[in-house]
Structure 1
Amino acid sequence: MKAITLKAGREKSALRYHPWIFSGAVDEVIGDPELGDTVEVYSYKSDFLGLAAYSPKSQIRGRFWTFGEKANIDREFFSDLLDRAIAARKSRGFDIDDKESAFRLINAENDGIPGCIIDKYADIYSVEILAAGAEVHRKDIYELLAEKTHCRGIYERCDSDVRKKEGLQLRTGCVYGEVPDEPVIINENGILFPIDVKNGHKTGYYLDQRDARRRIGEISKGKKVLNCFCYTGGFGLYALRGGCEKVYQVDVSKDALKLAKEGIMRNKLSTAHATHVEADVFQYLRKCRDKAETFDLIVLDPPKFVESKDNLQKGARGYKDINLLAMKLLAEGGMLATFSCSGLMEMDLFQKIIADAAADARRRVQIIERFGQPADHPVNTAFPEGQYLKGLLVQVV
């Protein structure tokens, strides 16, 4: 038998169905399990708690497959999880048979497959595996995904440095069918987006901002818009369709800006109303400040500033600095849509950071809307860490 026993009192989170077992909670390891092996989990009093994938090098020593019940963690197990995810997405308006749409099919722990993310882009699926358990079972996951979706191709994006914490090698490549070198075209709320599945950020695109992008489009009419960390220009395309006076798309990546420009052309939007700037956003905002330039609507959607608890304070300073700069560039009555994708950045702290930035900028602002993850990025109630995306829409008053 391969098993782990928890220290006294450390079974409480498992009894509440939290999917992680931290290394400090483990009292004994039995049977010499290897990376990704399924182990039985017991309390200090020898009560069976469930089955988990074992990871000897990670701070997260185990990730639960089941709670309170034994099962075969096999092809049938993953087939059932995929069927559930497909049915759940369909009930929320996301259909795998729609060959133009894009959405998240598997949201890791929240859909029962810890560390596994599966995103649909038209008829191509992009998969990111970050944990040892899903890594061991990836062949079954890929074969079942192809069988159930009848997709054209599956591309593996196992190239995140997070894998190193699990003792996993980095890897990318086509694992089923064919995946084109050219961008895959998706239709999001009537806007066509070119997606670079092979080289783009994460699995290729930020699907989690779908609802926020639509909202920005609704409030952009007649406004001068600044889209920071624009990546492939998602917020900017919605602003253009919404009738903005002008949108400035700023990103440090030349390749991302190339796709942003392609998106404007593909959707037959006015290039005269868009300016693309290849620049470091912090430096660009300072230049705008020094020139006393102002904007009616600013979008701040930066990369993750907080990678671990150890750099939470440093990340908080980064969010404070960039929001302070943005506050100073808002016109009277102007709006700022600001986001954090750092799971360790809780909403209360993020809201305090925005309040402090406003005070230091000597601007009086009101929170008029909150943003979060859309329905294809569900959050298990027992796993609050799954609520990584948070955003605020504030207005100068």
Structure 2
Amino acid sequence: MNNGKSNIHLKILCIFIACSSIIASFEKALAQDFKFNNGRKAQSIPFSLTKNLIIIPIYINEKGPFDFILDTGVNPMIVTDSTLKESLKVPFPRAIKISGYGNFEGVDAFLGATAVKIGDAEAENIPTVFLKDDVLPISGFAGRKIYGLIGYNFFNSFLVKVDYTNKSLRFASHPKKIKLKGEKIPFELIENKPYISLTIEQEGLGTKTIKALVDCGASHAISLEALEGKSFPKPQFTMNANLGNGLTGQVNGHIGRISYLKIGNYLLDDVISNYPEYNIDSLMNKGRNANLGAEILSRFNTIYDYQNRLMYIKKNEKFNRDFEHDMSGIELYTEAGPPSRTIINKIEPQSPADLVGLKVGDEIISINFKKIDDYTLDDIGAAFKAKNGYSIVVEVWRNKSTLIKLLKLKKRI
């Protein structure tokens, strides 16, 4: 089966380094800029888009290509596939501990330097963190093999245009090679990650101006995390949910809605918002309130100008689409093949899937009598949030038997 299927909105949560002083000194000692060595001044390459995540092929130490998520919320580069360190022959990797939100003990990893190539752009001695174990199950939830995440070193080397409309990534070493179209949004770099100011309105809270990390490697719309030193207050109506996966496993919390979100002069109404549960002290957030994800960012074609601390945003054809959450209550996980399998990883209590008797471990064979192989990951996501009250026929394999369930979608938030 095609392993390009998963029903959840993957959240690639920002990872911070527990031993940041080691990383900082390591980065200062190395040349890290990408450059064209063939006379080019600009290049455009296609990218794949899965659950709003930008996936590009890269080469590491002259091997590859390896599919990586391009992520403004990541520094340094992270290799999540634990098998790559040995095959890439990384010299003298240093053992370190890295942490995710709420995890102070950290997990084992290695820090080394690699040579990386994206298109015709090359960089030597890129600081690279290799996770020792497969603690971030990105591939299973993304529905395809993902080897890691790359961000700051690439964005800081070029003027970068992300064209979600045409799934094209253009990067230029000369500013005249990319026309600066769109509304200008200033940002600040904190720990080499871009932060902007947003305005939101939420029931019971009123209107607030907040600071948000710009995180194109997180597929949610917005995650509201902290306000005035406390967890961000929730609206009256929310639902419990698994919000994604980080170094510590599942991140639990709530999903609700805010009345609107304003970025520059663009206004987005009735936006789905996440409210994660973790110790806000672990954010190390420098006044940060939120994480702005790709469900919003993908509604704009965006130019990132790290040297001048500016973004240029121009709305695209996705701008006016409604914000909808999964209406089935199913979370899927794919197992690589051949043959690949699409497995129910979680069922939300009292959801439509729960009420018709679907169970964790069921393998989905077809949806609406169409083989699961014929669906992309985004096709399944769209089917499971198509319309409140819409019926879907789901065929599953359980205990060597085929079962057919009629699932009636329900808008739960």
TM norm. shorter chain > 0.5: no
- Considering Cα pairs closer than 8 Å and 6+ residues apart, tell me whether 1 or 2 has the greater RCO: 2
- Which of the pair is proportionally richer in helix? 1
Q: Which has the larger radius of gyration?
A: 1
- Which of the pair is proportionally richer in strand? 2
**TM-score, structure 2 length as denominator?**
0.29
